Chains A and B, each alone.
Chain A
Amino acid sequence: QKEVEQDPGPLSVPEGAIVSLNCTYSNSAFQYFMWYRQYSRKGPELLMYTYSSGNKEDGRFTAQVDKSSKYISLFIRDSQPSDSATYLCAAYKAAGNKLTFGGGTRVLVKP
Chain B
Amino acid sequence: SQTIHQWPATLVQPVGSPLSLECTVEGTSNPNLYWYRQAAGRGLQLLFYSIGIDQISSEVPQNLSASRPQDRQFILSSKKLLLSDSGFYLCAWGAGGRGTEAFFGQGTRLTVV
Q: Which residues of A contact B (CB under 8 A)?
A: 6, 8, 32, 34, 36, 41-46, 49, 88, 90, 92, 94, 97-104
Q: How large is the interface on B (under 10, 10 to 19, 20 to 34, 35 or more residues)?
A: 20 to 34
Query: Per a CB cutoff under 8 Å, which of B44, B99, B103 touches A94?
Result: B99
Query: Per a CB cutoff under 8 Å, which of A34, A46, A103 touches B42?
Result: A103
Task: Give 19 CB contacts A-B under 8 Å.
Answer: A8-B41, A36-B104, A41-B107, A43-B105, A43-B106, A44-B44, A44-B90, A49-B100, A88-B43, A90-B102, A97-B32, A98-B46, A99-B34, A99-B94, A99-B102, A101-B43, A102-B43, A103-B42, A104-B42
A88 to B42, CA, bound (A): 10
Q: Is the interface of B mostly helix, strand, loop or mixed?
A: strand
Q: Is the CB of A41 within 8 A of B109?
A: yes
Shortest Cβ gap from A33 to chain B (Å):
9
A34 to B92, CA, bound (A): 15
CB-defined contacts of B51 to chain A, threshold 8 Å: 97
With known contacts A43-B90, A44-B44, A97–B103 Cβ distance under 8 A: no
